[in-house]
Homo-oligomer: A and B are copies of this chain.
Amino acid sequence: MPQRSVAERPALTRERVVATAMSLADGGGLDSLTMRRLAEELGVEAMSLYYHFPNKNAILDGLLERTFAEIEDESGGFSTEASGDTWQQALRDRILGARRVLLRHPWVPAVMESRSTLVPTMARYIDANVGLMRSGGLSHDLIHHAMHALGSRQYGFSQELTLDGDGSSSPGDQDLARMAEMVPHLAAMLQEVVHDDPESTLGWCDDQTEFEFGLDILLDGLARRHAAEEH
């Protein structure tokens, strides 16, 4: 890593810091995003970052801001009109768009959980979803319930817990045999799932099919309750 002179080194701006933090997290996960490593990547001392940001959390907020800007881009703007579509279809498309962005930045859910602040672009995302449901005629009360029911799915991910320790391959026959003693029902289910689709990993993988299955149940249920609202 060649030491560049101060003259040819680009100025340290908030944008450069956040962009570099993003590529650091994308490349090596959240753990690799430390103040010292981030500074090194920028060719600067760690303490210089504190001139531009009050603390590390402010940098994390910058990352969320940038993520939701990407989501807005992916959605072609945050429209509140379901032009041509039903509100369900429009909301579904937007959520799957958010999901595509999060799959590029898999560390984002962890940051969202650690930060309770609502960054502006994230607020605009939520606002757009409220507007979309409103345009479909849902009551504010039902929309409020909907936001809770969707939970993190609204942002394109769901909190699923992985079953296997190493996250590697499908279970072999002897793994299933050992499991059958302690967890017979689970083992029987996995035996069949693995047989039908050898590509599926053991259990709780948050893959596209499963994500859409859960999302569609929720959207269906909300539409059904909306219909009931209108008698």
Task: State the A residues within 8 Å of B (CB).
Answer: 80, 109-110, 112-113, 116-118, 120, 123-124, 126-128, 130-131, 134, 140-141, 143-145, 147-152, 155, 158-165, 167, 182-186, 188-189, 192-193, 196, 203-204, 206, 210-211, 213-214, 217-218, 220-222, 225
Contacts and interface: CB of A to CB of B under 8 A. Distances in A.
A222 B218 contact: no
B167 A116 contact: yes
Given A141-B196, A193-B140, A213-B145, A159 B165 contact: no
Contacts of A158: 148, 151-152, 159
Given A80-B185, A130-B188, 10 more contacts: A109-B159, A116-B161, A123-B186, A124-B183, A140-B189, A141-B193, A143-B189, A144-B189, A149-B213, A217-B218
Contacts of A113: 110, 113, 159, 161
Nearest to A163: B118
22 contacts: A109-B159, A110-B113, A113-B159, A116-B164, A116-B165, A123-B182, A123-B186, A126-B163, A130-B188, A130-B189, A131-B185, A134-B188, A134-B189, A140-B192, A143-B189, A147-B203, A148-B204, A148-B206, A148-B214, A152-B158, A159-B159, A220-B221
